[in-house]
């Protein structure tokens, strides 16, 4: 009886051993299950990628929209800024034109006999050259008090101007023309002391000689005129100094 029970088991075992793997139904089922599982995973992965792609696309669209809005705002801001700058430039130009007209009218009024207030430039908001020209014109028109005041204000307002040396000379000249010889002497001396490189120095020395002559300071007059001859022999001032020295000699002073 035991022998009969063992035989079926041996037959089954023999069948298992003899069946190749490719034909084993269990292995076949397992392989099918594995393939189905891989297919499902691929589908799920593909669906995740699709969702991610959709989300990225949506984000890109939102980014593009925001960038477009930003560029639009930037363009509007730049356009507004350009308009503001243009408006400012136009307004500034109009104000400058009005100021120039007011200054020109003010200068014209002074030249036509208007009064120059103490401490005021002929052209209050004008340049150094504008004020220099008006002051010089007042001197040419023999308005010596106004020209002296104008040159004095010029020197205080524009001490570093390239015209400062000339303004100092004409300030002295304004006093000289008014027979204010002491004031003239002081201011001619400032030309020599403050602006030693100026071309006006020989003329200032000459006029110092004239002032001292008018004040009957014969030795001082002779010293100034002689210095013009010795220091600046080739200038017109030296020739005039020579003539004046001869005049003094003929006068016996």
Digit-coded pLDDT (tens) for 212-247: 999 999 999 999 999 999 999 999 999 999 999 999
Whether residue 73 is contained in a domain is answered as no
Summarize the confidence of residues 194-206 as an average pLDDT. Answer: 97
Given a cut of 50, whether residue 16 has pLDDT beyond it is no
Structure tokens at 121: 């430039």
pLDDT for 136 equals 96
Q: What is the pLDDT of residue 34?
A: 79
Confirm whether 187 is domain-assigned. yes
Which residues lie closer than 8 Å to 173 by C-beta, 6 or more apart? 139, 184, 207
- Number of domains into which the chain is organized: 1
Q: Which residue has the higher pLDDT, 56 or 244?
A: 244
Judged by average pLDDT, the poorest of 39-53, 70-84, 91-105 is 91-105
Domain limits at 214?
Answer: 115-251
CA pair distance 106, 237, nearest whole angstrom? 36
Does a structural domain hold residue 38? no
Residue 221 lies inside a defined structural domain of this protein: yes
Residue partners of 99: CB distance under 8 A and separation at least 6: 125
Q: Is the pLDDT at 203 greater than 60, yes or no?
A: yes
**Which CATH number is 158's domain given?**
1.25.40.10
User: Does residue 8 have a pLDDT over 80?
Assistant: no
Of the chain, the percentage scoring pLDDT greater than 90 comes to: 51
Q: Are 118 and 149 in contact (CB under 8 A)?
A: yes
pLDDT value of residue 82: 82
Residue 175 lies in a domain: yes
Q: Say if residue 95's pLDDT is above 80.
A: no
Residues 200, 188: Cα–Cα separation, whole Å: 9
Cβ–Cβ < 8 Å for 135, 158: no
Residue 232 is assigned to a structural domain of this protein: yes
**pLDDT score recorded for residue 55:** 80
Phi-psi category of residue 216: left, alpha or beta, with phi > 0 → left and psi -120 to 50 → alpha: left
* pLDDT in the model for residue 40: 75
- pLDDT, greater one: 124 or 115: 124
Residue 23, in any domain of the structure: no
Give a yes or no: residue 128 inside a domain.
yes
pLDDT digit string, tens, across residues 122-177: 888 899 999 999 999 999 999 999 999 999 999 999 999 999 999 999 999 999 99
Per-chain mean pLDDT for the chain? 83
What pLDDT score does 4 carry?
A: 45
DSSP codes, 21-63: GGG-HHHHHHHHHHHHHHHHHHHHHHHHHHHHHHHHHHHHHHH
User: What's the pTM value of the predicted model, to 2 decimals?
Assistant: 0.60
């Amino acid at each position: 009886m035991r022998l009969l029970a063992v035989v079926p088991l041996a037959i089954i075992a023999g069948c298992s051993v003899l069946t190749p793997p490719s034909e084993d139904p269990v292995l076949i089922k397992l392989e099918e299950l594995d393939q189905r599982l891989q297919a499902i995973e691929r589908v799920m992965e593909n669906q995740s990628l699709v969702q991610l792609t959709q989300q990225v696309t949506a984000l890109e669209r939102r980014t593009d929209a925001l960038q477009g809005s930003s560029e639009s705002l930037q363009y509007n801001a730049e356009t507004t800024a350009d308009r503001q700058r243009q408006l400012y430039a136009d307004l500034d130009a109009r104000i400058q034109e009005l100021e120039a007209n007011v200054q020109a009218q003010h200068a014209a009024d002074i030249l036509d006999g208007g009064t120059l207030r103490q401490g005021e430039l002929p052209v209050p908001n004008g340049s150094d050259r504008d004020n220099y020209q008006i002051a010089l014109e007042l001197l040419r028109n023999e308005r010596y008090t106004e020209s002296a005041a104008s040159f004095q204000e010029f020197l205080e307002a524009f001490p570093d101007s390239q015209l400062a040396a000339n303004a100092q000379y004409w300030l002295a000249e304004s006093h000289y023309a008014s027979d204010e010889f002491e004031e003239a002497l002081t201011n001619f001396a400032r030309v020599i002391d403050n602006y030693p490189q100026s071309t006006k120095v020989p003329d200032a020395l000459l006029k110092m000689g004239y002032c001292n002559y008018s004040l009957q300071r014969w030795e001082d007059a002779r010293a100034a005129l002689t210095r013009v001859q010795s220091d600046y022999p080739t200038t017109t001032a030296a020739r005039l100094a020579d003539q004046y020295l001869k005049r003094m000699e003929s006068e016996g002073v």
